[in-house]
């Protein structure tokens, strides 16, 4: 996928925020990866290369680290808005448990 400069900047900012939030929670990349059922290399790649909302991992990271997907939004089409809605429902249900 070819990213515009604006999208690339947002993706990199997301990676920086993921790292800061993870460290703020006292988690290692491996610890966060275990929570997300993924590899530490995926977390590291996100932190250093960034990540776009088209990735499932993007929403999982937002949920686990308390980040707002809209802060890193690259598009406002209906598919993106549906993903945000789905994420919010999942987060609300998760918080009520």
Task: State residue 30's pLDDT score.
Answer: 97
Q: How confident is the model at residue 97 (pLDDT cuts 50, 70, 90)?
A: very low
The proportion of the chain whose per-residue pLDDT surpasses 70, expressed as a percent, equals 72
Q: How confident is the model at residue 37 (pLDDT cuts 50, 70, 90)?
A: very high
Contacts of 37-45 with CB under 8 Å at 24 or more apart are 43/18
pTM, entire model: 0.71
Task: State residue 76's pLDDT score.
Answer: 47
Query: Using one digit for the tens of pLDDT, what is the confidence trace for 40-56?
Result: 999 999 999 887 666 77
Q: Supply the CATH classification number for the domain 5-96.
A: 1.10.260.40
Hey, where are the domains in the chain?
5-96
- CA–CA dist 3, 8 (Å, integer): 6
């Amino acid at each position: 996928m070819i990213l515009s400069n604006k999208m690339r900047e947002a993706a990199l900012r997301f990676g920086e925020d993921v790292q800061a939030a993870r460290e703020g929670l006292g988690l290692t990349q491996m610890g966060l990866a275990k929570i997300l059922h993924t590899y530490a290399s995926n977390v590291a790649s996100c932190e250093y290369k960034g990540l776009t909302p088209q990735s499932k991992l993007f929403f999982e990271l937002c949920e686990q680290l308390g980040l707002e997907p809209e802060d890193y939004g690259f598009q406002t089409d209906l598919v993106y808005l549906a993903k945000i809605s789905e994420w919010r429902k999942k987060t609300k249900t998760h918080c009520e448990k």
